Structure 1
């Protein structure tokens, strides 16, 4: 891929931040660690399981003025690897003080699994004679078995309550360049206690042949000759980009937004406005869960919360110009804390660039001869993160016509199993190799601020009108609009058969036509969680059972499945908060939107999966008085010319 444009890099500041929502700095991570050490909370075996900015409440941020002092606070969850004890701490980096420290009740949820624990798994398993005997019974050498430890979930195992448990499969690796995902050892799983560093039990259900065909997508011998005839595409902006970046604040074509990043949610958007009018106070992907469909004795528990159980954004890629992002690129670095609480800078973590996006509006008028075309353009904020076998890209788009869009891109390698005559819940993707059915379900947290804090949500859908005196020919349908007034009543499913959408409106501001200003949330309308009503995963990931939830704003309510998702028995997060059934009509509200894909893998998904897409759109609906892209200038140069020809069609 040929790219000749320069790369622009905007680094997070190393000075004391001037705004409460600026990006984390290395100096701040050092300060937090020093405070925790001075308080005796860091010992030889203690590790950082979570670190992120503890953002001030919304009123405090909105009241901030330039030059005012900033109280920068950070949340650090600490885990003692030797005892399993954990503390949840808040540190004020600005004053180097410990604000609070609370012991975590691990019977109600564990801190996320960290790298230091993953590194222990193979040694733990190889110390188990039962595990090694199970592999040798299959004619497999334990030294060539790669352990894949996975979050345990919560099932009817009372002895696991309060203990840090993972469940581990084995995949065989023939040589160091061989992809283990091609060689799953099926019918076998180990339950491992991370604190005791011991194997609780080995479930050896069946001896199933290990698939033998290699799956190395980077091996020329397997891939074959590369195609020819693809000519280079070069994207240039000779006069530079149309956006400006000051620290983490980006301005582009009437849009104004601050960007953030943390290891749990990844990229976050703050104080998003258009022409000075607020739309979103904060937006993030606050959780995702991947529930699998195989009910077999060794796989029934496979359900992963990539945000809450793994803090997957800590693994974000350092993006490469011309590969991950194409064009005239600006990058932002992101600073997180590693297991030891030392700052780790992810260079080029966030990509900022503009993209042409086809036509924004066009018309050839048959009566006047007017013929005009304007091109659409979008501002892109993105990052990519691998987690185990999958890689996820997260893309936020801002458009010239006021549209906001989010898109998740799933690629990487599908999780594999052995495939045989009884493989009812998987697709055969290579000889003897299966890929279990599963879903990827995301939760967007949209702290809305449409023209101010007082917002409400209307459910709007198409309503067919029965044939009768007022509709003699049966062609009529109308728009149905229902105000969702309370948290219990605002738990809704999408319905594409009725074009169901949710209008988030201001209850204080109206446009020139007397309509409330608003944005419409257009869901893709794919299935919500398919697991049974009585299932463990449905209780733990209740957010994914509905496409829409609406709650009253509460700064402590950040994560839809609760703060501590790992081994949480369920009921935390949205079901707990909405039990109060608070009013949400004309209040400061948060809109939660669950969306995703139901994946029946294909042979074409192997040995590496082409990108699959999912997301949602927020489109202005009455927010503007007319087409906000009417003022977009025509494209210059000789590549666009109007011919003044109409097509004779009126419609």
Structure 2
């Protein structure tokens, strides 16, 4: 991982660290080692190449200059046979990489590897060559296929016997007026093709009958939307003396925060070893933070669309679908960009330029008081935050992922969903109880965006306990004569069988992560509190395929014992898996969760009931959560901020 040539700050080479991102040489070495062992043929593809992260205790024990062991986890797929495998390669010395382990994957037990980029085109070719699909399109009056898109979509798992063991995609169909048109304005209703990618044929065609293809274009480019506004004046963000953060290799420092950056093919941005300086100590808060999964289940019951549910991390890969960011468009201000090195379908390294954006933002007031007893003297400080972000495009949707570090010790995350609505067709004006008609005959189905944050917590050390904290009304009586009193109730999440928790805004529920072995100056355990997103959980019925495969989203919070192999809330290979692996499997009773190494998994996200205003391109829909210090510090940690002049240069505010 390197700063891009356009970055405003140049990084310097750092000593090797166990959590360093994969390099070009390491990816090349892993592929070469597999090739040397006879594991690579002309039809071998590499759906997933990831760093094999060491156990966090090994990382904590690492000291600068210590030897560093580097390993790569590689998933292989033979596109000719459909067979897949998982390998572990030691690339500590890239010139002498060694295959450590290799095992074949069983699609029924393990699931399928993620979707390859090349399979998008393969699926399109297979569908358009199918006689049954061509006949169905002709019956709908479409014979010119040059502007037709056969959209390749994850198949899920619905227990269809004929699909067992097959590598599948399902294809919806969309039309365009020309090559730059928005295809989601013209869905072909009632038609879906189930594709066997290995056999290269359509194995089932579902045709529930033709409906009119919506005719109105959905273009959103400047040339199609009319004259631009003329009343906006320039808005410039400048930092004449440069940004306040520094980046050395993967080590990022800002204010009292320090952390390590990583970017991998599956999760995209990963933050490691987040610490906050307090006096002469760097106090740990999180060992690792990422968005480990996101599901997008749709609500339509129609047979041509009742299977639609995407697992964008496990099936499509967030990191591989990341954008190359552009100054002034995706990020504004004094920006540092960071490149990422990933592997392509053939297992060769490729550099994604400007994958990560780092910058500071002014966000208004941090603290203020006007002293009414001292001639109304006022003292205040403005707040700024450090933003670490990237953007990924998954088919029709674009997602911005933003991690925030605040000067008061808060860590926050926001996901911003934008892009294009996925659509279906109906008779104009007919509407649907499961969708919004956003243009004549054009339906935007109801759906959910269900993210899952993986937080390997280490609040002042690895021995933590999670407490569920509710606000409790006290009954009116001798101890509460006016009925105004309330208090809090803290209940430890003590056993893995109690690990799935549901948010309850009616009692202000939040989850406090305490370190029982470290106390603040008032003698209570230091803590950080997760303030959750409290939106609806998964709305699919219990026992449904979606509920089995997206089980993590049936609770707002899961607490599990930390294990290095517990990486994703829905298992390592959720593509076409029936469900079962992940947080639900790790939450069977009998494992103590008190005063120990923990991973906290937070499920959150919007239930999207599309609006007319979301078409033809939707404004961002924002969701997220925060982690706030709760007795972690002995007082406000932002008391030492300098006063502002109003122009950011320091000194007294202007009157």
TM-score by length of 2: 0.95
Matched, 1:384 2:391: yes
Q: Distance in 2 between matches of 1:422 and 1:400?
A: 49
Shift in alpha-carbon separation, 1:126–1:617, aligned structure 2, 3 A: same
Give 2:457's match in structure 1, choosing from 440, 444, 448. 448
Q: Distance in 2 between matches of 1:99 and 1:31?
A: 13
Matched, 1:546 2:546: no
Give 2:38's match in structure 1, choosing from 37, 40, 54. 40
Q: Describe how 1:437-516 pairs up with structure 2 within 5 A.
A: 437-516=446-525
Decide whether the 8 Å contact of 1:415 with 1:435 is kept in 2.
Answer: yes
Q: Would you say how many aligned residue pairs link Structure 1 and Structure 2?
A: 637
Shift in alpha-carbon separation, 1:127–1:638, aligned structure 2, 3 A: closer
Q: Describe how 1:303-452 pairs up with structure 2 within 5 A.
A: 303-369=309-375, 370-420=377-427, 421=430, 423-452=432-461
Matched, 1:288 2:294: yes
Note the C-alpha offset of 1:277. 0.3
Q: Distance in 2 between matches of 1:142 and 1:101?
A: 47
Give 1:62's match in structure 2, choosing from 60, 63, 79. 60
SS of equivalent to 1:356:
strand
Q: Distance in 1 between matches of 2:316 and 2:209?
A: 30
Decide whether the 8 Å contact of 1:333 with 1:345 is kept in 2.
Answer: yes
Note the C-alpha offset of 1:91. 0.8
Decide whether the 8 Å contact of 2:498 with 2:587 is kept in 1.
Answer: no
Q: Distance in 2 between matches of 1:195 and 1:407?
A: 39
Decide whether the 8 Å contact of 2:89 with 2:99 is kept in 1.
Answer: yes
Note the C-alpha offset of 1:427. 0.3
Decide whether the 8 Å contact of 2:295 with 2:312 is kept in 1.
Answer: yes
- Tell me whether 287-296 or 153-162 shows the greater mean CA deviation: 153-162
Note the C-alpha offset of 1:470. 2.5
Decide whether the 8 Å contact of 2:148 with 2:176 is kept in 1.
Answer: yes
Note the C-alpha offset of 1:488. 1.5
- Paired position in structure 2 for 1:237: 239
Runs of 5+ consecutive residues of structure 1 not aligned to the other structure: 1-5, 645-651
Q: Please, what is the CA RMSD of the aligned residues?
A: 1.6
Q: Distance in 2 between matches of 1:315 and 1:191?
A: 24
SS of equivalent to 1:326:
coil
Give 1:174's match in structure 2, choosing from 173, 177, 182. 177
Deviations 1:339-370 (A, max 9, x none): 01111101111011111110100000111343
Give 2:622's match in structure 1, choosing from 613, 618, 625. 613
Q: Distance in 2 between matches of 1:638 and 1:396?
A: 26
Q: Distance in 1 between matches of 2:413 and 2:195?
A: 38
- Paired position in structure 2 for 1:3: none
Matched, 1:165 2:165: no
Decide whether the 8 Å contact of 1:181 with 1:416 is kept in 2.
Answer: yes
Q: Describe how 1:180-195 pairs up with structure 2 within 5 A.
A: 180-195=183-198
Matched, 1:137 2:131: no
Decide whether the 8 Å contact of 1:9 with 1:348 is kept in 2.
Answer: no
Q: Distance in 2 between matches of 1:471 and 1:404?
A: 37
SS of equivalent to 2:27:
helix
Note the C-alpha offset of 1:642. 5.7
Matched, 1:31 2:29: yes
- Paired position in structure 1 for 2:100: 99
Decide whether the 8 Å contact of 2:560 with 2:600 is kept in 1.
Answer: yes
- Paired position in structure 2 for 1:520: 529
Deviations 1:295-316 (A, max 9, x none): 1111110000000001132021
Q: Distance in 1 between matches of 2:42 and 2:439?
A: 47
Note the C-alpha offset of 1:187. 0.7
Note the C-alpha offset of 1:9. 5.5
Note the C-alpha offset of 1:161. 1.4
Q: Distance in 2 between matches of 1:9 and 1:268?
A: 21
Decide whether the 8 Å contact of 1:529 with 1:538 is kept in 2.
Answer: yes
Q: Distance in 2 between matches of 1:569 and 1:392?
A: 26
Give 2:217's match in structure 1, choosing from 211, 214, 217. 214
TM-score by length of 1: 0.96
Note the C-alpha offset of 1:490. 2.3
